[in-house]
A and B are shown apart, each in its own frame.
Chain A
Amino acid sequence: SQQGEEDPQALSIQEGENATMNCSYKTSINNLQWYRQNSGRGLVHLILIRSNEREKHSGRLRVTLDTSKKSSSLLITASRAADTASYFCATPSGGYQKVTFGTGTKLQVIP
């Protein structure tokens, strides 16, 4: 079963707008990762946030983690057409030997 569920399933925005996607998970975690997948390609790691961090930034990415609500959000600011991709959260499932990926949010940025 999926540990993480992303919301929304699909998102379409204009270039320059901000994009926010959310991930909810079921069990307590030590960290959460976000990955990006361009169409027809493998996943690329974006950022990892630990359970003792509430917010983390990397370039135009801002990730938050609310362990009390078991949820995380990924914000992409000033989106570009090149941000068009699917975004997945990944949570540990079995110590540090396995992660479970969510079903993903498909983001389309319209030029």
Chain B
Amino acid sequence: NAGVTQTPKFQVLKTGQSMTLQCAQDMNHEYMSWYRQDPGMGLRLIHYSVGAGITDQGEVPNGYNVSRSTTEDFPLRLLSAAPSQTSVYFCASSYGTAVDEQFFGPGTRLTVL
């Protein structure tokens, strides 16, 4: 199993550009989530999904959209990138809930100029 995969690994955007961060898992997990990690602030939840077709907001959802059309994929869309969105983004999945063991992807390092 590949586990949780994320693409791209690195990305540089200009302010106002849009892009999609890809996340996929092959463990048939129902729960998937997106976090951003900034220095000194730990991980903050952006959006999460408890199953295909169901998504909800986390702590810092503004400026991001998600969809969950399949169990495997959970893309994160930046609508109009801002320098404040410069961060490392992690996707994670678990069997059922956030308090089950979450398996994390390797992360995407995003810089917005």
Residues of A at the B interface (CB closer than 8 Å) are 2, 30-31, 33, 35, 40-45, 48, 88, 92, 96-104
Contacts and interface: CB of A to CB of B under 8 A. Distances in A.
A42 B107 contact: yes
B70 to A, nearest CB: 20
A92 B90 contact: no
B48 A42 contact: no
Contacts of A88: 42-43
Contacts, number: 61
B99 A101 contact: no
Interface of B: 4, 31, 35, 40-45, 48, 50, 56, 58-59, 90, 92, 97-99, 101-107
Nearest to B97: A96
B7 to A, nearest CB: 14
A44 B99 contact: no
A97 B98 contact: yes
